[in-house]
Structure 1
Amino acid sequence: MFRPEGIYVAMLTPFKEGKVNETVLRQVVEFQIQRGVHGLFPVSSCGEFIQMDFAEKIRTMEIVVDQAAGRVPVTPGVTAPNPNESIALAKEAKRAGCSGVVICPPYFLPISQETIERHFELLADNVDIPVILYNIPAFTTPITYDVVKRLSRRENIVAMKDSSGSVVDMVHFMDKVRAIGMQDKFNFLIGREDGLFPALMMGGKGCMTACAGIVPEILVGIWDSYHKGEFEKAKELQFSFLNLLRAMNALPFPVGFKLALELRGFEMGEPMQPLSHAEKYNYVNVRSRLEKIMGALLGDYKVDLDQLMKK
């Protein structure tokens, strides 16, 4: 059974005139694979899946799978307000050749833990594809430790992306799964890039984050250093991009992240959610900060797209 492990990209989506920009999406996929990431997570939260209709989500999966061409696993998001839509998306992901799917609790309306658990069970029961749970308290109802423990017993629920940002929560999630002997079949990945190295030290199996696709050199570097036992180097790399992260978060999510990827050479398009006048003013300031930070962090950070697509 497939289980995600390593540096996975929570992919940002390039748009043009309100639609997914296939040309740029293929460039982004190629860039991230060539820079050493281990997997791709399109139709993600930072990828603005909520701004995409059903057909665009499916097309995005197909483009990413086609461009990846089997080099890395593709695990798209299938989150929806109701289980029927999530099941339909997951079946399309299976048809497209994806390795697994990622799902967080239904969004917007308040929801009980019992309903969250049943939502995930219905998906697992109705699709023949590995399922990755996604805990993201900033945008949906948090998943409790015991719900994760019970769901980890299911054969095709294989991992969890935890974006709580809490080391305490991560440790308790892991402990609950360990208590029932499922730790070897259920992987934990962190959803907050600023905690990757600590997560690895605690037994985490990697990350699913936006920064993995913006500065893959850094995130892959942390992973490689950790696995070589070069912990001091991994720690320094972990600290190295926090200023970049803070600058990106100075704009409404995920505008700052898309701006950083735009500065690397990818035409990400206008924000799907219009910015206020004050935010537009701040956008200019953040752009200047990001240019300086990325220059200090990576040196020549601009990607040669022509050379990229020739490889």
Structure 2
Amino acid sequence: MDFEKLKSRLAGCYVTIPTPFEDSAGFPVNHQAIRTYVRFLIDNGLNTEYATLLAGGAAGDFSTMSFEERIGVGETVVDEARGRVPLAFGGQSTSTLELVRLAQAAQSMGFDFLQVSCPFYFTHTEADFEEFVMAAAKAAPRIGIIVYNTFWTSTSLSFGMIDRLARIENVVGLKWATPRTDAMEFEDVTSNFSRRFTIIDNNLFFPYSAMPSLGAQAFEVHLCNYWPEWGIKLIDEVKAENYPEIARMMVEEAMPFYKLWVEIEKGYTSGDGYLDKLCMELIGLPSSRCRPPTRDIRENYRARTLDMMRAAGVPRLVAN
């Protein structure tokens, strides 16, 4: 494994590809629609310079798919991407045995990275998680491990835990999110570890976290699934230090999407990827609901979502 090469490839927009399903019994995976998504993202600029695409992450409905379905999604993404953009594979699991199989499959399929989170449901210790990550790293030594701090579903990682994970050779990325407190945990880890890992900002602080004193190199972004140019422009504006335009983009274009997402999650259904897929449908891409238990939001929130997208100036809208 070429650590520096992998680390340098993990930069820019970190985009989870939603998994579309057929609107039929059992909601089978729609592989042709996945191909359409991948082509759309790459054709609109999310290439090696600007992005890494994640297959089978949370917004990709990993939690509702079988092991075989997750592998099938990964195979389709790799085949359609054809090396034009770095790829990560979602390795979230509650089982170390399954994680090892996912890691081996990701390496065999040709993924650059494997995303790993602390197992959910049980409150595992940090030492449990350290062994979990080490198992993945040993199973797939030729790909880079991205550690994802999903503190809202499982054990939150401390500064000391990040320091221990830094000793695992093929951990190349840290997808970093923290609760907001006066202790500034987000900044503490980012500023201290950005030379060791590629920091993927999962708090949407990128205009701030990309500053030299913090050093984040990538950010999780949902808007790119229906507006790839938005993420590309944000990266370019950050590099140009055009802070008035960055602030406008965040407030007028990003914030309305995330506010609507939170409103849906608090008042109607929970999960991930449901608003991405509705927005994708409204620009003419094939789409679907998420699998249950996440409920279908399309009928109840289509008009609100369309209004939000119009006000933000989203291109390619096809809905009336």
Instruction: Tell me if TM exceeds 0.5.
Output: yes
Q: Secondary structure at the match of 1:137?
A: coil
Q: Partner of 1:206 in structure 2?
A: 218
For residue 237 of structure 1, the aligned residue among 249, 264, 268 is: 249
* Count of residue pairs brought into register by the alignment: 294
Contact 1:250 1:286 in 2 (8 A): no
Q: Partner of 1:197 in structure 2?
A: 207
Q: Partner of 1:51 in structure 2?
A: 64
Looking at structure 1, the residues matched to 316 and 210 of structure 2 have their Cα atoms a distance apart, in angstroms, of: 27
For residue 130 of structure 1, the aligned residue among 144, 169, 183 is: 144
Distance 1:266 1:139, change over 3 A: farther
Aligned residue identity for 2:16: A
Distance 1:299 1:46, change over 3 A: closer
The Cα of 1:11 is off from its aligned counterpart by: 1.9
Q: Secondary structure at the match of 1:75?
A: strand
Distance 1:107 1:213, change over 3 A: same
Q: Partner of 1:184 in structure 2?
A: 195
The Cα of 1:144 is off from its aligned counterpart by: 1.6
For residue 55 of structure 2, the aligned residue among 14, 24, 42 is: 42
Contact 1:26 1:64 in 2 (8 A): yes
Q: Does 1:76 align with 2:85?
A: no
Q: Partner of 2:175 in structure 1?
A: 161
Contact 1:295 1:301 in 2 (8 A): no
TM-score (norm 1): 0.87
Deviates more, 1:81-90 or 1:201-210: 201-210
Cα-to-partner distance string for 1:197-245 (whole Å, 9 max, x where unaligned): 2222332111123233233222221111111232322222122221122
Cα-to-partner distance string for 1:85-142 (whole Å, 9 max, x where unaligned): 1111111111111111101011111211111111112211232121000011122221
Deviates more, 1:164-173 or 1:23-32: 164-173
Mind listing any 5+ residue stretches in structure 1 that lack a counterpart?
178-182, 305-311
Q: Does 1:217 align with 2:226?
A: no
Distance 1:293 1:74, change over 3 A: same
Q: Does 1:21 align with 2:30?
A: yes
Q: Partner of 1:309 in structure 2?
A: none
Distance 1:35 1:169, change over 3 A: farther
Mind listing any 5+ residue stretches in structure 2 that lack a counterpart?
none
Distance 1:96 1:156, change over 3 A: same
Map residues 95-174 of structure 1 onto 2, 5 A cutoff. Answer: 95-128=108-141, 129-164=143-178, 166=180, 168-174=184-190
Identity %: 23
Looking at structure 1, the residues matched to 314 and 60 of structure 2 have their Cα atoms a distance apart, in angstroms, of: 27
TM-score (norm 2): 0.85
Q: Secondary structure at the match of 1:266?
A: coil
For residue 10 of structure 1, the aligned residue among 16, 20, 45 is: 16
Superposition RMSD in Å: 2.2
Deviates more, 1:56-65 or 1:15-24: 15-24
Q: Secondary structure at the match of 1:288?
A: helix
